């Protein structure tokens, strides 16, 4: 007769079971935490025209709601539908409780006095009025679009120093403009040299605090006002 073989009982690996249960617990805890986490911190960059609070209101985050119900794609859609925002980038970080918002504004560039319209960065015209540059006379259609493109490339710090712009052609150049700065200086520019206005702050350092007319349409020289 053959020998009876005893079946070996497989011992449970208690260590693996404990590790499995811990992992399972952590997984359920993580899922629970994510679905029950509210936004606690909001960080906003790229805004100058719109306030932080306005962006928070547009985003629908003014009551710091649940993060899962306010995913980045949903917030971006709300922001991008606003006429004063060109684009947005939203990210959730931390333990889904910190939200970072980066925006590119579609800010008011100037008030077009002849049409009683405010022109935004992307060229759209709206009825809302703002404290911004005033273009005091009509610009021909053949020049207007080129003027918009040049103004879009002017530094914001310089735009904030401009009070008025007048279309002022002469017999030499039909794309000539006269710019009145907030500090009392005048600047003549043509569209070909329009972006030299970005150097304005460096230029006025040599004026010794005097006021006058800066000719950037033909050369670069400063004509002091009679005192």
Residues 123 and 195 in one domain: yes
Min mean pLDDT across 51-55, 90-94, 158-162 is at 90-94
Shared domain for 98 and 54, answered yes or no, is yes
> Does residue 13 belong to any structural domain of this protein?
no
Q: How far apart are CA 155 and CA 171, in angstroms?
A: 29
81 part of a folded domain: yes
- State which residues form the domain around 90: 35-105
* pLDDT of residue 135 exceeding 60: yes
CATH number of domain containing 43:
3.10.20
**Are residues 144 and 124 both part of a single domain?**
yes
CA distances from 61 to 44, 52, 86, 90 (A): 12, 11, 19, 12
Average the pLDDT over 125-133 and give the result: 94
| 68 inside domain | yes
> Does residue 223 register a pLDDT over 70?
yes
Domain-located, residue 134: yes
Final residue in a domain of this structure, among 105, 128, 158: 105
Boundary-marking domain end, from 105, 124, 139: 105
Q: 198 and 113 in one domain? A: yes
Q: Based on the domain organization, do 123 and 162 belong to the same domain?
A: yes
Domain check: are 196 and 125 in the same one? Answer: yes
Q: Are residues 216 and 127 in the same domain?
A: yes
- Could you tell me if residue 29 is inside a domain? no
CATH number, domain containing residue 206:
3.40.50.10960
Shared domain for 117 and 41, answered yes or no, is no
**pLDDT at position 90:** 97
Which position has the higher pLDDT, 113 or 20?
Answer: 113
Band (146; pLDDT cuts 50, 70, 90): very high
The predicted pLDDT at position 12 comes to 62
Residue 10 lies in a domain: no
With 70 as the cut, is the pLDDT of residue 6 above it?
Answer: no
- Tens-place pLDDT, residues 171-219: 989 999 999 999 999 999 999 999 999 999 999 888 888 899 999 988 7
Whole-number pLDDT of residue 197: 96
Domains: count for the chain: 2
> Cβ distance 159 to 150 under 8 Å?
no
Same domain, 199 and 119: yes
Longest dimension (CA), the chain: 131
Q: Express as a percent the part of the chain with pLDDT over 70.
A: 91
pLDDT digit string (tens) for 72-94? Answer: 999 999 999 999 999 999 999 98
Q: Which of 105, 132, 161 is at the close of a domain?
A: 105
Q: What is the pLDDT of residue 13?
A: 72
pLDDT digits 0-9 by tens, 9-50:
566 677 777 777 777 777 776 766 666 788 999 999 999 999
101 phi and psi, to 5 degrees?
Answer: -120, 120
Say whether both 93 and 128 belong to one domain.
no
Exposure class string for 49-79: b at 16+ Cβ within 10 A, else e: bbeeeebbebbebeeeeebeebebeebbebb
């Amino acid at each position: 007769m053959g020998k009876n073989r005893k079946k070996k009982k497989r011992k449970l690996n208690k260590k693996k079971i404990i590790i499995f249960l811990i992992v399972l617990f952590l997984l359920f805890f993580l899922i629970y935490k994510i679905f029950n986490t509210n936004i606690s911190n909001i960080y906003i960059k790229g805004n100058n025209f719109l306030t932080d609070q306005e962006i928070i209101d547009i985003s629908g985050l003014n009551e710091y709601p649940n993060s899962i119900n306010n995913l980045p794609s949903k917030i971006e859609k709300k922001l991008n539908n606003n006429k004063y925002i060109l684009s947005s980038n939203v990210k959730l970080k931390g333990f889904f409780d910190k939200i970072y918002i980066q925006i590119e504004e579609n800010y008011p560039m100037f008030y077009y006095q002849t049409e009683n319209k405010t022109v935004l960065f992307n060229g759209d015209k709206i009825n809302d009025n703002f404290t911004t540059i005033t273009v005091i006379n009509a610009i021909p259609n053949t020049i207007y679009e080129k003027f918009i493109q040049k103004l879009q490339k002017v530094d914001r710090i310089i735009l904030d120093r401009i009070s008025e712009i007048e279309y002022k052609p002469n017999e030499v150049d039909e794309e000539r403009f006269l710019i009145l700065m907030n500090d009392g200086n005048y600047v003549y520019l043509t569209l070909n040299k329009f972006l030299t206005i970005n150097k304005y702050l460096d230029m006025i350092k040599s004026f010794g605090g005097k006021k006058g007319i800066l000719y950037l349409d033909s050369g670069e020289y400063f004509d002091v006002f009679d005192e």
